[in-house]
Structure 1
Amino acid sequence: MASIRLTRPTLEVLQVLLASTDDDPAWGLRICEEAALGSGTVYPILDRLTERGWIASQEEVVPHPGRPARRFYTLTGTGRKLAEEAVRSRLGQRGTPSPALGADA
């Protein structure tokens, strides 16, 4: 699995993905909002994470009427381990969690 440059925006996206669950998955706009980043930043990060095997995506099976289908993003098994390691390492360096991760995480 290829490594990725762990910039602050990339770490913010990873934190949102780590906080998502199967019952409450992350999609593009939600990631943008929770990471406080624009779509022009988030979608290239999601593309790089997908290319390197950190995340997988799937289109919503039954879209809600009146809006386009969402694309859900989830960390792969290895991607989750790498993301946890990256976030833990960065938190150790700066000492405070990101708002996207939450104070109790």
Structure 2
Amino acid sequence: MIIERFLQYMSYKNLNDNQVTIQCNLSNGLIGAAKKGRSDLGRKAISKILATYPDLNKVWLLTGEGNMILEKSTAVETENEPSELLSNLELENKLLKAQIKKAEDMNERLLRIVEKMGVF
């Protein structure tokens, strides 16, 4: 999960919830709620986190693939390069697919519970 990977990053950087909340301008309690599984970080929070910590690899954060920390590159990339736009879309697609899978799994569990209750 994204929060678990971000917690690894926080540990690596010796950051606490309060520091991250202030530095990223996040809602109070968001990190704690995500830790406890009561909420997800959400797209806006993830964007703020990635903007605040440029060494954090967004591919790793979203998918678990690659290294946690970005290697310093001599190549200058711009926000509007087609390859970067494609990469961002692919990452967003993976994130959305994971969220859909999670929702489908939850629906299946809820249907089993309802069936056991004899409602349908």
Q: What is the TM-score normalised by the length of structure 1? A: 0.28
Q: What is the TM-score normalised by the length of structure 2? A: 0.26
Q: Name whichever structure is richer in helix by fraction.
A: 2
Q: Name whichever structure is richer in strand by fraction.
A: 1
